[in-house]
Structure 1
């Protein structure tokens, strides 16, 4: 089977998954691009639920990049002290704010986003997807890293960048923007680490895990 055939097959197989989740808002409860970027940075190695909890008070004091840019790490830390690696993240946010200066300067390309402190490819892909920018990659968060190999889509790897690269090789570019988040939602809601709800899964007919378990 050549790469074109693989792309065609997976694109067709994932239609029900994309129909279920395309356009569904990310679990981070942001209101604009500035809030999304800050929350994505804070959520690294932390839970979306925890970031959603601390965000309202944070944004009351720091409503935009300008307000962070004129602050300092010591002033910022108390507002994010319940976040993992808060000291490092406070430094990142301050550096970004001082570099970009205003919310309107937040970029929406992979190259410019990953040039900012604390933003890797996964974070950039999330920001670009939520803002409906043209996809330059595929979201490979912890759920995607776990679920994609389970389905049989790619080889297992703990490295998000390697997972993304594999996904980009087997999936057609026209679905890159939504497929990562769709697989992530599948992992959150249906394809749980233990006791997955396989009968409810929209892609169980092509899933290696389900079909091997059933045989």
Structure 2
């Protein structure tokens, strides 16, 4: 059996985490699509917890895209000053707000989202999943980049776009919407950099675990 080929029935093998995490909300504590968009842009190379901590004050001051469109960088910056790369991200958000203007006009397609400053495929996949739109790819965040090769679905790569492409080739389209976030939650909770393998729902099919078990036996 080719470990990295289409002969693997990954939909069945991954069913335990698909079932456990199906529909579970992203850790970013957003209330609507506008807030999700802003928080996804801010969260790049930063923690969800940090973005959650600054968002209440930010959204009290700027409750809509239109309110950001009407401000200037100097006024806006203090509200995101605790975010990594805040200058660049603030400029992106002002540009997005001026381009879209109204919350209802936020594009909810891969091409529409990735045309916006600061939104790559990973961010777009998160927004599409959270807004219930059809999947056009698979979320490949830092947890997925670490965990998917460990399980044995794909070969290891540090490139998120390559990881996503390889996952799209290995997994059936009907699970794209949920599987990225399911693997991400597994990575956040169980399959940490130092994994808690005995607690994992996938240890019976996991390449890493089977390898580790064999090493321990010998």
TM-score, with structure 2 as normaliser: 0.95
Q: Cα RMSD (Å) of the superposition?
A: 1.0
- Picking from 1, 4, 7, the partner of 1:5 is 7
Q: Which runs of 5+ in 1 are unaligned?
A: none
Q: Deviations over 1:135-171 (max 9, x none)?
A: 0000000000001111111111111000000000000
Superposed, 1:1-215 pairs within 5 Å as 4-6=6-8, 9-194=9-194, 196-215=195-214
Alignment length (residue pairs):
212
Quote the Cα distance in structure 1 between the aligned partners of 2:128 and 2:197: 30
Equivalent position SS for 2:7: helix
Quote the Cα distance in structure 2 between the aligned partners of 1:158 and 1:122: 14
Equivalent position SS for 1:206: coil
**Superposed structure 1 runs of 4+ greater than 4 Å apart:** 1-4
Q: Which runs of 5+ in 2 are unaligned?
A: none
What's the CA shift for 1:64?
Answer: 0.3
Quote the Cα distance in structure 2 between the aligned partners of 1:108 and 1:200: 37
What's the CA shift for 1:5?
Answer: 2.8
Q: Deviations over 1:61-93 (max 9, x none)?
A: 000001000001111100000001101111100
